[in-house]
């Protein structure tokens, strides 16, 4: 009697993807882009080491779905970055992958044409091309590292990465973070717990050995040295924010207890703004006050912003999509974003000058 089939019972197909090396041959890194990434990573490391007194600000669309609108936003942000450069280091939020609690559009890489065709190879190509455009204009990019297969294709163009609230507790993502070449922010859990992020930082600080893919797309044993530039991102949870001065102080104490650098980034959206994009400026204002009062542990901000405010559902007729409007979370408009960052830069300028470089804050 022949063996019964025990593999692939629920599989429809398996399609071989382009290798990371082949994608890089088709969309090659340029000298200008490499300069942007190298300089950007150094700046973020210097901020985390408290050698650079500024804060870094990861700002941009909740997700990228339209290259034209994304480049339009990037060009405006690049110009704004120069205006606030004495107090802030601007990084464009470039999110290509969207984690889902149940189902929904999973992002530009997974379904770039938003038609359920799931042409992931095209998505990787388009994502790399977009990152390259940002880097060539001198604009650093930050993203969420979600799928552990994606970094070999794109990470050389990323200045800063986040591990989301849903995946901070994941061993796979902690191991992956230990080998990433850029600083990584770990968000607190969806329940508001900061301990999962602290545990993730400690794990990513260590070396790991795990399965992944190499530059030729082959399954490989990945060995890492550990990433010492992990830090915590406070994003609120369980229906309450955690950006206030008491929450920040408690986070400082928890980090110090574990002998970890007291570096805190505040995500001004998500639970910290009760998912109301119009409340993000109030969060920024509170954080600016803390900086003015002398809080040195706050080293960064995250903001969700697009060309136009709000969001929209993805229509069946994609010609009905509104230009520059988010298809995921609601975002602030460009006008509000520009005004907010300029005003905040003015507000914290003297406090930033008083932040003396320090060897570390442990």
3-class DSSP state of 148: coil
Residue 1 inside a domain? The answer is: no
18 alpha-carbon distance from chain centroid: 25
pLDDT confidence of residue 313 = 95
Q: Which domain holds residue 109?
A: 20-350
In angstroms, rounded to a whole number, what is the distance separating the alpha carbons of residues 200 and 188?
10
- Position 151 pLDDT exceeds 70: yes
- Beta bridge partners, 209, equal 223
Residues contacting 322, CB < 8 A, separation 6+? 308, 312
Residue 13 inside a domain? The answer is: no
What CATH number did the domain enclosing 305 receive? Answer: 3.20.20.70
Nearest 5°: phi and psi at 329?
A: -70, 155
Residue 7 inside a domain? The answer is: no
Residues contacting 212, CB < 8 A, separation 6+? 148, 149, 152, 176, 219, 220, 222
Residue 90 inside a domain? The answer is: yes
Asked if residues 42 and 345 have their Cβ atoms less than 8 Å apart, the reply is: no
152-206 per-position pLDDT tens digit: 999 999 999 999 999 999 999 999 999 999 999 999 999 999 999 999 999 999 9
255-287 per-position pLDDT tens digit: 999 999 999 999 999 999 999 999 999 999 999
Q: Which of 35, 104, 51, 59 is nearest to 268 (CA)?
A: 59
Question: Structural domain tally of the chain?
Answer: 1
For 314, other C-beta atoms within 10 Å of its C-beta total 15
pLDDT confidence of residue 59 = 99
What's this model's pTM, rounded to 2 decimal places? 0.96
pLDDT confidence of residue 102 = 60
Residue 183 inside a domain? The answer is: yes
Over residues 298-311, mean pLDDT: 98
- Position 209 pLDDT exceeds 60: yes
- Position 246 pLDDT exceeds 70: yes
Residue 219 inside a domain? The answer is: yes
Residue 231 inside a domain? The answer is: yes
Q: Average pLDDT over the chain, rounded to whole? A: 95
Torsion of CA 303, 296, 243, 79, to 10 degrees: -10
Residue 5 inside a domain? The answer is: no
């Amino acid at each position: 009697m022949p063996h019964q089939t025990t593999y692939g019972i629920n599989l429809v197909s398996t399609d071989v993807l382009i290798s990371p090396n082949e994608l890089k041959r088709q969309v090659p890194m340029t000298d200008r882009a490499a300069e942007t990434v190298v300089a950007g990573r150094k700046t973020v490391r210097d901020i985390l080491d408290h050698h650079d007194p500024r804060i870094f600000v990861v700002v941009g669309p909740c997700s990228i779905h339209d290259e034209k609108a994304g480049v339009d936003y990037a060009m405006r942000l690049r110009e704004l970055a120069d205006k606030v450069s004495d107090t802030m280091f601007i990084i464009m939020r470039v999110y290509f992958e969207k984690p889902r609690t149940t189902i929904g559009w999973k992002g530009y890489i997974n379904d770039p044409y938003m038609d359920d065709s799931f042409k992931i190879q095209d998505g990787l190509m388009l994502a790399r091309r977009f990152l390259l455009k940002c880097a060539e204009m001198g604009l650093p990019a930050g993203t969420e590292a979600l799928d552990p297969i994606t970094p070999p294709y794109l990470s050389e163009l990323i200045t800063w990465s986040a591990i989301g609230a849903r995946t901070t507790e994941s061993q796979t993502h902690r191991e992956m973070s230990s080998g990433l070449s850029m600083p990584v922010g770990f968000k607190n859990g969806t329940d508001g717990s900061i301990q999962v992020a602290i545990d993730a930082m400690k794990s990513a600080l260590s070396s790991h050995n795990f399965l992944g893919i190499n530059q030729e797309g082959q399954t490989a044993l990945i060995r890492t040295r550990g990433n010492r530039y992990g830090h915590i991102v406070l994003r609120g949870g369980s229906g309450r924010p955690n950006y206030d001065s008491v929450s920040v102080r408690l986070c400082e104490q928890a980090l110090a207890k574990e002998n970890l650098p007291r570096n805190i980034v505040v995500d001004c959206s998500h639970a910290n703004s009760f998912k109301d994009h119009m409340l993000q400026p109030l969060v920024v204002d509170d954080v600016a006050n803390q900086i003015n009062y002398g809080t040195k542990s706050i080293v960064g901000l995250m903001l969700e912003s697009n060309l136009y405010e709000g969001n929209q559902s993805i229509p069946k007729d994609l010609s009905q999509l509104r230009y520059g409007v988010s298809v995921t979370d609601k975002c602030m408009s460009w006008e509000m974003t520009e005004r907010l960052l300029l005003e905040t830069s003015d507000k914290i300028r003297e406090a930033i000058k008083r932040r003396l470089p320090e060897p570390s804050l442990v």
